[in-house]
Amino acid sequence: MPELPEVETICRRLAPLVDGRVLSALDVLDEKWCSPLSPDALRDAVEGRVIARLWRRGKYLVWECAGEVFLLMHLRMTGTVLYDAPTQTPYVRVRLGLDDDHVLSFCDPRRFGTGELVLGRPALEEFFAARLGVEPLSDEFTSEHLFALTRGRRAPIKALLLDQRRIAGVGNIYANEALFRSAIHPLRIAGTLNRRQAGALREAIVASLRAGIDAGGASIDDFRHPDGVKGAFQNEFLVHGRAGEACDVCGGLLVKFVAAGRGTYACEHCQKRPRRRRTH
Ligand SMILES: [Zn+2]
């Protein structure tokens, strides 16, 4: 599933190719993509507009068009955006034509990806404020910020990291990697972290996301760059998907279990499992 580094990778590669171009055609082949908005209504709103800027917020790809018209793409499980995809490319749900005759194809085998229309910058700010917390690669994401997020939280730290309303863009892979890097067990109750641990976790989140971006994202299954090339971060995973392999730090066996409803990988030598709390 594409997370912040994968969406950032798509954004960085596409932006130079689309910024300043006219979005000359929007062809929605699967109307579920923009439901409840109709494909016709969406087309009327964006077609013929200049793409002022393509950017990212959390896991959203934001097509900022002239006149404060925003097309928000969420890739969900299997979405990817290809630039001039081969003609036989399967699972294309949407095509965006540019005035220089290049075509972007939104491919999405499982069809969970969405397209949403937001009009005006205040509405955009409201949209994100209701759904997304701090950007983890921004200056706002300090150790103090993360420490404050954990206060009073009785959920496992992993659940907090996956909650988009608290930290935007971190998903299962980068949560697993960051918790390992900071030697914090995924089931640790968030509110029990001390300041030092919150600081270490903040550093680890930033380091994991930056490593993912530097490697062009992770391609476990469907994720591709706009030119169809896979990312390489899956070759650098410290724990994710590596149950039964040796920990790079201590040589112990990495394990898999479920935390926050997701497949979770850890080294329980390096990341000490919290003791079960007494009920009285
Ligand atoms: Zn270890």
As a whole number, mean pLDDT of residues 132-158 equals: 98
DSSP track, 178-227: HHHHTT--TTSBGGG--HHHHHHHHHHHHHHHHHHHHTT---SSS---TT
DSSP letter assigned to residue 164: T
Q: How far is the CA of 184 from the centre of ligand 1 (A)?
A: 11
Given the residues 49, 56, 57, 59, the one annotated as active site: 59
pLDDT at 98: 98
- Determine the length of the chain: 280
* Helices assigned H by DSSP within the chain: 4-18, 39-46, 121-131, 143-150, 157-162, 172-181, 195-214
Q: How far is the CA of 20 from the centre of ligand 1 (A)?
A: 49
Q: 190's torsion region: left (phi>0), alpha (psi -120 to 50) or beta?
A: alpha
Is 39 tagged catalytic?
no
Share of the chain above pLDDT 90, in %: 96
Given the residues 262, 268, 273, 274, the one annotated as active site: 262
**pLDDT tens profile 101-141:** 999 999 999 999 999 999 999 999 999 999 999 999 999 99
Is 3 tagged catalytic?
yes
Q: Which two tokens stand for residue 56?
A: 């990212």
Q: How far is the CA of 272 from the centre of ligand 1 (A)?
A: 10
Order the strands of the 80-83 sheet from edge to edge. 80-83, 103-107, 92-98, 22-28, 49-57, 60-65, 69-74, 114-119
Q: How far from 236 is each of 4, 116, 209, 216, CA to CA, in Å?
A: 17, 34, 12, 11
Cis peptide before 186 (omega within 30 of 0): no
**pLDDT tens profile 170-187:** 999 999 999 999 999 999
pLDDT at 277: 63
The whole-angstrom separation of Cα 179 and Cα 168 is 16
Q: How far is the CA of 112 from the centre of ligand 1 (A)?
A: 36
Q: For helices 4-18 and 195-214, give the axis angle rounded to 10 degrees.
A: 40
Q: How far is the CA of 183 from the centre of ligand 1 (A)?
A: 9
CB 181 within 8 A of CB 270: no
pLDDT at 222: 83
* End-to-end Cα spacing for the chain: 41
Beta-sheet strands, E only, within 8-167? 22-28, 49-57, 60-65, 69-74, 80-83, 92-98, 103-107, 114-119
**pLDDT tens profile 63-106:** 999 999 999 999 999 999 999 999 999 999 999 999 999 999 99
199-204 long-range contacts, CB within 8 A, separation 24+: 199/143, 199/146, 199/147, 201/146, 201/157, 202/141, 202/142, 202/143, 202/145, 202/146, 203/143, 204/177, 204/178, 204/179, 204/180
Please give the model's pTM, rounded to 2 decimal places.
0.96
Beta-carbon-side half-sphere exposure of residue 206 (alpha carbons within 13 Å): 17
Is 59 tagged catalytic?
yes
Given the residues 2, 39, 156, 186, the one annotated as active site: 2
Q: Which two tokens stand for residue 208?
A: 């994991």
Given the residues 3, 8, 64, 177, the one annotated as active site: 3
Q: How far is the CA of 180 from the centre of ligand 1 (A)?
A: 8
pLDDT at 22: 98
**pLDDT tens profile 215-252:** 999 998 789 999 999 999 999 999 999 999 999 999 99
Is 144 tagged catalytic?
no
